Structure 1
Amino acid sequence: MVDLQPVRLGELRKANVPLAVSCPLCSHRANVDPVRVRGPDSLDIKELTSRFRCQKCLRHGGMSVTAETKPWVWHLRRTRQFHRISPMMKMIRDEGEDEQA
């Protein structure tokens, strides 16, 4: 298992990468602008799981919170943080490659 550095709220704010929030109960998924989330820049986004309420089933807490995958991987590649890209994320194509396939 790869031990990756945690994703911080401030990193997503600066990179303009949305949070992907999903409900484990009803599978509803939404993107959230990290600028709208209260908390310090140093906050690990995994600590946000209890702060969200599902807009579909109204469950509070227990949400899955991650960085939106493609924009996050593209940011890590642009900033040469290759050590933070998980093996599964390495399969994601670079910006512009999607249209060429």
Structure 2
Amino acid sequence: MKNPVEETKKAIKELEGKVDVMVGVIHMGLENENGIPGTGVQDIANACPELSAIFAAHMHKLVKKEVVNGVIITEPDKYGTHISRIDLTFYKARWEVGFKR
């Protein structure tokens, strides 16, 4: 099994300079699974502040908004009971994220 944190770092390196924003859509929960480091999106957010946001999905729990290392994280619960939405506001002059909610 590959380490999700390391794989995310590789993807970020490949995308740097080619995109205006990086958002992760990751089939993992907020916390590490079975005590294995790097298997939760909190670890990815801690290691990869280049991400502006992460949409998590795996643990079937509602995470309205969690901010880890400047990365906003949400998870929409289970069975279509909720929808996650993240608004990013850009400053055109610099193409950087100025506001997240």
The bucket for the TM-score relative to the shorter chain is under 0.3
The two structures have a TM-score, normalised by structure 1, of 0.24
The two structures have a TM-score, normalised by structure 2, of 0.24
- Which structure has the bigger radius of gyration? 1
Q: Name which structure has the greater RCO, CA cutoff 8 Å, separation 6+.
A: 1
- Whichever structure has more strand as a proportion of its residues is 2
